[in-house]
Amino acid sequence: MTWFKTPANSSTLWFRIGLLTIFLVSVVLRFWGLSRFNALVFDEVYYAKFANNYLTGTQFKHAHPPLSAYIIAIGMWIGSHLPFGQDTINGLTGSLRTPWSYRWLNALTGSFIPLVVAAIAYQLNRRHSYALIAALFAAADGLFLVESRYALNNVYLVILGLLGQLFFLIALSQPKYQRWQSLALSGVFFGACACIKWNGLWFLLGVYFVWGTAWIIQWRTKQVTLQKSKSTTPGYTNKIQTSKRVSTPLINLTQLNGFHIIWYFYIIPALTYSLLWIPHLIMNPKPKFPGFWESQKYILEFHEKIGSGSDVHPYCSQWYTWLFMLRPVAYFYQTAQTIREQVPAYPPLPAGSAKVIYDVHAMGNPILWWLSTAAILILFLLLVQRLVLALMGEFASTTTNYITLYLVMNWLANLLPWVRVTRCIFLYHYMGSSVFAGLGLAWIMDRWLHREQHQWKNAARIAIALVVVAFIFWLPIYLGLPLPAKSYRLWMWFRSWI
């Protein structure tokens, strides 16, 4: 199976070198100082402990599906037997474990996300330049870097959801008789994604949105064509335009019928999700612990009981604030007198006496975030305009229209379900949507770079450079490097960030 086919006019060597460089830098940044904080950071107090429970056979209830805890447990077991990463140890998970053991597999998984994003971008229009820019933007997102460096579950949710999307696109690019394997793999990845967290289903919802909209456009096009052909003279030609060069597999969306959707994107994900529960249910049997259906009810009721607002958690944020990154989350905050002190140290220093601050802030790259939001909103308006034309039977089957449809619908699918959620939610819940916003920005930048006018090329180069510079500037916040207390606000541009 070939994910990257080589156009005759592209430099495959430079493309591969670029992707390899992005991957290696991602690996280095994720693995550097992985054991620096010998503690449980943010939600490691849940996921690292749950993973350890599976290794020790300790029975427990889980407020999320179990797959991420399985994966972290596997990493923890392997990491405990490696000849390196054993220099620090703690008993915070319930057993003596090294921070390296419960973090390394997250770091490795997160390093591959830019490559998967590049593969999706390449599938959309077969351009190496677009894939490379998309990979760069994914690697330069600080939120993904932070999430990859700790035993949390969002990197697994994102990569499994993106793999489901990737194999969906690969299937569309294949002949009809060959695509069943890719469709099945796509369904398996979506089911596994939902078994990380239920909001993993939003990636699957994106497929429904894109496929359903494509069918509605085709139905409306045929309806308008038929109506106009009856009311005009013979020889009428409709206004539906089909580009002679449509370089996206999305043109084949309506080759998928209701059976394909039900089997590959409902039954297979549901079976995958259910089967992945088996190890947890065997270790936590009835009647002492809930069975499969009772566990689903328990998860739902647990999250329904969670309130919202600063009284529940100081970093709760509304969904619409995510678009502008108004309220990032501090995962780790410790102070010290010198950079030679061990961190964390207890008891903490009195307020105002610190000279050094260690802060791990789960925040995106601000420049990338704001530009991506602008890009996806522009594409949203473009899609609305094209859909209005589609209602009149004038939808043009072009690469631009189909990519806009794909990116905007997936962005909406990962964002809109949060509108009605009343419990406390956080910036990291936007990670699924942010991937498609970043793909939208990369697509616009790539188009600008291929324009003849130098002002567009220069604008794209400046925007890409600003994203990279911003990533480097905020890197101390992502990695938790020691910062002088007096200049800490240099990185905290807004009061709501603190």
pLDDT in tens, 315-347: 999 999 999 999 999 999 998 888 888 888 777
Compute the half-sphere exposure of residue 218: CA atoms within 13 Å on the CB side of its CA: 14
Cβ-Cβ contacts under 8 Å for 275 (sequence gap 6 or more): none
pLDDT at 9: 45
- Residue 21 pLDDT exceeds 80: yes
- Residue 227 pLDDT exceeds 90: no
**Residues 193-218 pLDDT 10s:** 999 999 999 999 999 999 999 999 98
**Residues 103-119 pLDDT 10s:** 999 999 999 999 999 99
Nearest Cα neighbor of 195 from 182, 204, 206 is: 204
CB 128 within 8 A of CB 3: no
- Letter for the amino acid at 247? S
Cβ-Cβ contacts under 8 Å for 459 (sequence gap 6 or more): 448
pLDDT at 392: 84
Nearest Cα neighbor of 348 from 358, 335, 339 is: 335
Residue 121: how many other CB atoms lie within 10 Å: 28
Asked whether the bond before 287 is cis by omega within 30 degrees of 0, the reply is yes
Compute the half-sphere exposure of residue 118: CA atoms within 13 Å on the CB side of its CA: 24
pLDDT at 234: 54
Q: Please return the burial class of 297, using the count of CB atoms within 10 Å of its CB with bins 0-12, 13-18 and 19+.
A: exposed
- Letter for the amino acid at 316? C
CA–CA separation, 382 and 92 (whole Å): 51
| CA-atom Rg of the chain in angstroms | 24
pLDDT at 466: 98
Show the tokens assigned to 464.
């890409």
Show the tokens assigned to 319.
């969904």
Split at pLDDT 50, 70, 90, the class of 452 is confident
- Letter for the amino acid at 349? L
Q: Give CA torsion, residues 220, 224, 229, 231, to 10 deg.
A: 150
Exposure string of 184-214, with b = 16+ CB inside 10 Å and e = fewer, is bbbbbbbbbbbbbbbbbbbbbbbbebbbebb
CA–CA separation, 319 and 327 (whole Å): 10
pLDDT at 309: 81
pLDDT at 329: 96
Show the tokens assigned to 206.
């994106």
Bridge partners for 242 per DSSP: 397
- Is the dihedral angle over the CA atoms 368, 372, 375, 377 positive or is it negative? negative
Q: Give CA torsion, residues 134, 138, 140, 143, to 10 deg.
A: 160
CB 146 within 8 A of CB 361: yes
Exposure string of 233-251, with b = 16+ CB inside 10 Å and e = fewer, is eeeeebebeeeeebebbbb
- Residue 397 pLDDT exceeds 90: no
CB 341 within 8 A of CB 457: no
Q: What is the mean pLDDT of residues 157-167?
A: 98
Cβ-Cβ contacts under 8 Å for 468 (sequence gap 6 or more): 136, 140
pLDDT at 232: 60
CA–CA separation, 54 and 43 (whole Å): 17
SS3 assignment, position 454: helix
How far, CA to CA in Å, does 317 sit from each of 126, 366, 395, 424, 430? 38, 17, 38, 7, 11
Cβ-Cβ contacts under 8 Å for 495 (sequence gap 6 or more): none
Split at pLDDT 50, 70, 90, the class of 245 is low
CA–CA separation, 289 and 291 (whole Å): 7
- Residue 445 pLDDT exceeds 50: yes
pLDDT at 403: 96
CA–CA separation, 331 and 359 (whole Å): 8
**What 8-state DSSP symbol labels residue 333?**
E
CA–CA separation, 497 and 488 (whole Å): 12
Cβ-Cβ contacts under 8 Å for 199 (sequence gap 6 or more): 157, 417, 418, 429, 432
- Letter for the amino acid at 492? M
CA–CA separation, 138 and 156 (whole Å): 15
Mean pLDDT of the chain: 91
Show the tokens assigned to 406.
């794909």
- Letter for the amino acid at 178? Q
How far, CA to CA in Å, does 252 sit from each of 37, 177, 239, 260? 49, 13, 20, 13
**In this predicted structure, which of 18-22, 151-155, 240-244, 398-402 has the lowest mean pLDDT?**
240-244
Q: What is the mean pLDDT of residues 19-29?
A: 97
